[in-house]
Amino acid sequence: MSEPLLSIKGVSAFYGSIAALKGIDVEVMPGEIVTIIGANGAGKSTLMMTICGNPQAREGSITFEDRDITHLPTHEIMRMKIAQSPEGRRIFPRMTVFENLQMGAATAQGGSFEEDLAKVFKLFPILEQRRSQRGGTLSGGEQQMLAIGRALMSRPRLLLLDEPSLGLAPLVVRQIFSAIRDLNQREKLTIFLVEQNAFHALKLAHRGYVMVNGRIAMQGTGKELLEKPEVRSAYLEGGR
Amino acid sequence: MSASSAAKPSVVTHALKDALIAGIVAFGLFVLLLGFLADDTLGKLRPLPRPVLLAAAVGIVFVGRFLVSLLYYNAAALRLLLGELFVSILALAKRFRFALLAAMVALAIAWVLYSPGDWPLATMIVVAILFAVWLGLTPALLALAVLFPIAFYSNPYYLGIAIIILTYVMLGWGLNIVVGLAGLLDLGYVAFYAVGAYSYAIIAQAYGWSFWVCLPLAGLFAAFFGVLLGFPVLRLRGDYLAIVTLAFGEIVRIVLLNWVSLTNGPNGIGSIPRASFFGVPFTADDDGFAARFGFEFDPTHRTVFLFYLILALALITNWVTIRLRKLPVGRAWEALREDEIAVRSLGINPTNTKLTAFAIGAMFGGFAGAFFATRQGFISPDSFTFPESALILAIVVLGGMGSQIGVAIAAIVMTASFELFREFEQFRLVIFGFAMVGIMIWRPRGLISSREPSVYLKERKTISAEHVAEGHG
């Protein structure tokens, strides 16, 4: 296989003096969907935020497209071909859907705005219907679609998705995950997905990592992990 | 079909007959009332015939009665005719509203220059309501502002108040960039107003440059101070930002008070050069405005000029803000107000975004300051105290943050009510406080709290406050 698009080597990150990440190694190959699953507080979102430089990694290195991004400020990292749909969606509630999407294209190069917009509207047709509506008036699922759409407007090579299924109805979750699969298969977009919904995430992903207490506890292909009894008992059948 | 065509001639004849009778009655009524004028210019009274006026009056009655009685028998036709007339007039007016405004401006200027008159207040109010219904609120306010000096030409007191109001409108719009758009709470905006005023006063006195050279310089200085304030507060938000900006406003005032060699300290700077009409001063001598353009000298010329000057400056502020909102930097300000983390995650540099907001907001404060200095002719640190900042902020907040027209209305209401309640000087702040409490109860998000999208597909949709902000601002 070729060079990894994103490679995280021995990364540790701290909130004050508390270690949230303790030597994480993760690689994402071009064209892959890679997922990180784990319980609350395992450090999944922190890993996502550390890639984006907030907080910055205290140890280890993060490289994207062969460039060391470990110590770059957030906005410079996001100017490269990385886009993020952050946890809790964080769309701009008072701005319209269209204005939100325009904001997503703030760092896009060249005049491909209309084309990108058409792609987003094709992926999530509901957004086109809602285009003059305020972000804050959308339903949760629509807001998630908007957050993903906004991230796509910058023409990324790597899309970081932080808990896209958070607080959504099962039907909407399925819709969003099928959109993610579409993006990966049709657009060859590389996707790094942090999820609590382990079943859906592992079914979708080529490879997965399981995080426990700031460390990578297990890794493997999505299928392998789904079949592992530890994973099943901890994340899939735990409630039963 | 046949019935209606058969009925038609009889309707027309009937109407004609009816109109003829009305015309004869009108002639009988008007022949002495309008037909003759009692003229006593030559010492003795004699009747002066006015046949044209009489003919016009009788003609109007005749034609009017004819139309009424013709259409009275055909109510549907009447409705159709009037309706279409109304709709087409409305459409025409809407279509050429800018031409109409331009014509009004030209008319206004011509009126002021050649035939200064005085329109009573009632006329102004009627005109205002007509404009508001006809053109909508914004053009109505604009038209009123343009016509104001004509209506109150002989009343410099009202002109003076209007100039103060417009100064606050401009300050409100300037601060609106920082507070309303970028969401950075600034309690020291008066500092930039002061910097603009002092830089204008000092430069104009030291180098004798004209107002039009010093104005951009004053704006530039104020913008520089905006960046200066911006740097230390980049990491701050909300309450902490408010405290630092409050301190900044005080620091500027105290420096002005103590740097006696430059600012003349508490005694202030006097005899600041007056604004000229593009180089022509408003003086009574041969080089003055009145003499150059062939008018009788009148000190009100200067006041009217100042009025239009601040109106233009305020409108420029408004126009620039509206344009900026459609540009990436303005969009980034609004996004920054909504969610700073999301803005960073989109690759926008929040530092630059905040600094540009501070700088541009401060620049307009500086312009307003320069205007203030040239209007007053005297400035001292007393004019730039904290209550001034609070008033401007109150205008922005009460007007509805981010809404241009709301800020303008709030500025008019607040400043004008200060003048109205001048007799109750001691209760002014109490009334002010009640007004604030009232607005917070009934319009918690400001007078005009809907945000108009800066891009829209087919039609503008303003969305009411309930959807606009959940839990913030």
pLDDT-based confidence at residue B252 (cuts at 50, 70, 90) = very high
Tell whether A150 lies on the interface with B, counting CB pairs under 8 A. Answer: yes
Lowest-pLDDT range of A108-112, B133-137, B361-365: B133-137
pLDDT (tens digit per residue) in B3-39: 444 445 566 777 788 888 888 888 888 888 777 877 7
Give CA–CA dist A155/A113, Å, rounded.
10
Largest CA distance in chain B: 97
Q: Tell me how crowded residue B220 is: count the other CB atoms within 10 A of its CB.
A: 15
pLDDT (tens digit per residue) in B389-402: 999 998 898 887 77
Sketch the domain layout of chain B as residue ranges. 2-93, 104-154, 156-415
- Residue A202's DSSP bridge partners are none
State whether CATH 3.40.50.300 applies to domain A1-81+157-170+188-240: yes
**For residues B44 and B344, which has the higher predicted lDDT (pLDDT)?**
B344
| 3-state secondary structure string across A11-26 | EEEEECCEEEEEEEEE
Contact A200, A173 (CB under 8 A): yes
**From chain B, which residues contact A within 8 Å (Cβ)?**
328, 331-332, 334-335, 338-339, 341-350, 451, 453-457, 461, 463, 467-470
The CA distance from B362 to the nearest CA of chain A, in Å, is 25
Give the distance, in angstroms, between the CA of residue A83 and the centroid of all CA atoms in the same chain.
Answer: 8
For A60, B240, B388, the CA distances from B210, given in Å and listed in that order, are 62, 40, 28
Sketch the domain layout of chain A as residue ranges. 1-81+157-170+188-240
pLDDT (tens digit per residue) in B308-358: 999 999 999 999 999 998 888 899 999 998 888 889 889 899 889 999 999
Contact A234, A61 (CB under 8 A): no
pLDDT-based confidence at residue A24 (cuts at 50, 70, 90) = very high
- Residue A63's DSSP bridge partners are A7, A68
Contact B254, B270 (CB under 8 A): no
The CA distance from B346 to the nearest CA of chain A, in Å, is 6
Contact B329, B352 (CB under 8 A): no
pLDDT-based confidence at residue A239 (cuts at 50, 70, 90) = very low
Q: Is B362 exposed, middle or buried (0-12, 13-18, 19+ CB in 10 A)?
A: buried
Half-sphere exposure of A233 (CA within 13 A, CB side): 3
| Pairing label, strands A67-68, A59-64 | antiparallel
Lowest-pLDDT range of A140-144, B38-42, B169-173, B257-261: B38-42
For position B123, what pLDDT does the model report? 58
Least CB–CB distance from A75: residue in B349, B455, B470: B349
Cβ-defined contact of B342 to A76 (cutoff 8 Å): no
Residues of A in contact with B400 (CB under 8 A): none
* DSSP-derived 3-state class of residue B127: helix
Mean pLDDT of chain B: 81
Give the distance, in angstroms, between the CA of residue B189 and the centroid of all CA atoms in the same chain.
Answer: 21
For position A188, what pLDDT does the model report? 92
Lowest-pLDDT range of B76-80, B144-148, B442-446: B76-80
Q: Tell me how crowded residue A68 is: count the other CB atoms within 10 A of its CB.
A: 10
The CA distance from B328 to the nearest CA of chain A, in Å, is 7
